[in-house]
Amino acid sequence: MNDLDLLFIFGKREVWEKYAGVVKDHNLTKEALQIFKDIGEWYDEDATRLTIDWDSFGTWFKHVKHSTFKTEVMELYVKIFENLGKITTSPIEKELIESFITRDFLTRIADTALRGAEGTKVVSIEDISTIIDEHKTAVGVTVEDNYIVEGDIHDLLSHVISGGGYDWRLNELNKSLGPLRKGDFIVITARPDAGKTTLLASESTFMGAQMAKDKHVLWFNNEEEGRKVKFRIIQAAIGWSTPQIEAQPHKAYELYEAEVGSLDKILVYDRSSFTVKDVRRILDKYDTGLIIFDQLRKVHGFEKEGGNEVGRLQLVFQQAREWAKEFAPVITVHQASGDAEGQRWIELNQLHMSKTDIAGEADAVLSLGRTHEGGFEKARFLYTPKNKLAGGPKSDPLLRNGKFEVEIIPELARFKGLL
């Protein structure tokens, strides 16, 4: 496909309005660029112009727009318009636009690589990788039109209300949130040492057992030491204390495999520092059924785009929402602010750096409060101050924003409910 093909498809206003912005000046010849710019003015002059008759356009170009062009220059343009008038088969818009987007990014890659090779600019392989990632995004967002939600009312009801999803181990969460489905993004907030990781271990092992054989729980750990987290996951799955596991380690592994489906059902990626690109690469590698971040705020990325930490966090949480839609439901832990210490029911405005609109990105926020009053050492207080989930057969509409007292059993890495 060449410049003539590109100019030809922009002979339709709808194509111009949809794709003109993705064509870069440096990817067109001088003559094609001039015509391309004039096409925009042609449409701007008259809102009723929906298509271009190239003979009429050529006359306008020659006698109105560029009457001062030299004869030899105008002859070249006249030839172009003659050739445009001879085209009878329209190229495929998607493929043509995608090729021009690709040409633009290839130019950027070549320019960046050349500067790096010449030593005029510090360039890393990561810089090239960033441009490649941007190309994938540009092509996907600009060209594809497959985002229309389809389905009759029965399909929608089956997906949203009655079908699929993972039940929670705590029945309180089944009553309040309903099943966890692809596309759901859950934020759990609490103060330090309230039992956030224990809650993740208890629920993820229960959900892992409900997944298809080849699916995995991907647990991105950048908080506690990884082996400690994995041990608590085993405890939560089989309900054994540390002395019991020490006494029968092989039996513990057998029970764990039987309980969750396989020894590698829950994969813990333990690094002190993750980037958004690291996460994406790992998600592309596995068939994922559930994604857990402990904690998402520590995942690096969008430093330039965000401008500051507040803006960066908002973009990271937006990205997590997209991962939930593309791959699997996402659960993340997020710290509650200091004024929530010793508080039973933690509110939305008590999420750390809540001005990042973290609560706005989440489908549901689950807070885990505790009190320092005597006699309540093992008591924990679950509350859903935000809940936009659709619910399911086990949920109770009256408990959508429910408040529940539960008990933490740290020696088994589980929680015990009262419902």
Beta-bridged to residue 300, according to DSSP, are 275
Phi/psi zone of residue 312: left (φ > 0), alpha (ψ -120 to 50 degrees), beta?
Answer: alpha
pTM score > 0.75 for this model? no
Grouping H, G, I as helix, E, B as strand and the rest as coil, residue 383 is strand
Residue 209 near residue 352, CB atoms below 8 Å: no
Torsion of CA 259, 260, 263, 265, to 10 degrees: 180
Residue with tokens 């933690």: 346
Q: What is the rounded CA–CA span in Å between residue 113 and residue 121?
A: 9
CB atoms within 10 A of CB 308: 9
Residue 390 near residue 178, CB atoms below 8 Å: yes
Q: What is the pLDDT of residue 111?
A: 75
Per-residue CA distances from 138 to 97, 107, 145, 284, 339 (Å): 11, 15, 13, 19, 43
Torsion of CA 150, 152, 157, 160, to 10 degrees: 0
Grouping H, G, I as helix, E, B as strand and the rest as coil, residue 83 is helix
Q: Which residues, other chains included, contact 406 with Cβ-Cβ below 8 Å and sequence gap of 6+?
A: 170, 172, 379, 380, 381, 382, 415, 416, 417, 418
Residue 113 near residue 123, CB atoms below 8 Å: yes
- Give me the amino acid identity at 197: T
Residue with tokens 């170009």: 61
Residue 412 near residue 201, CB atoms below 8 Å: no
**∠ at Cα 356 (353, 361), nearest 5°?**
120
Q: What is the pLDDT of residue 163?
A: 58
Q: Domain 164-416: give its CATH code.
A: 3.40.50.300
Q: What is the rounded CA–CA span in Å between residue 6 and residue 22?
A: 12
Q: What is the pLDDT of residue 306?
A: 76
Q: Could you state, in chain order, the average pLDDT of each consecutive group of 10 residues for the chain (419 residues)?
A: 77 81 74 92 88 92 93 92 78 58 72 76 72 63 50 61 82 96 94 94 96 93 88 96 95 94 92 87 92 91 81 88 93 93 93 74 94 95 94 92 96 93
The burial class, CB within 10 Å (0-12 / 13-18 / 19+), for 243 is: exposed
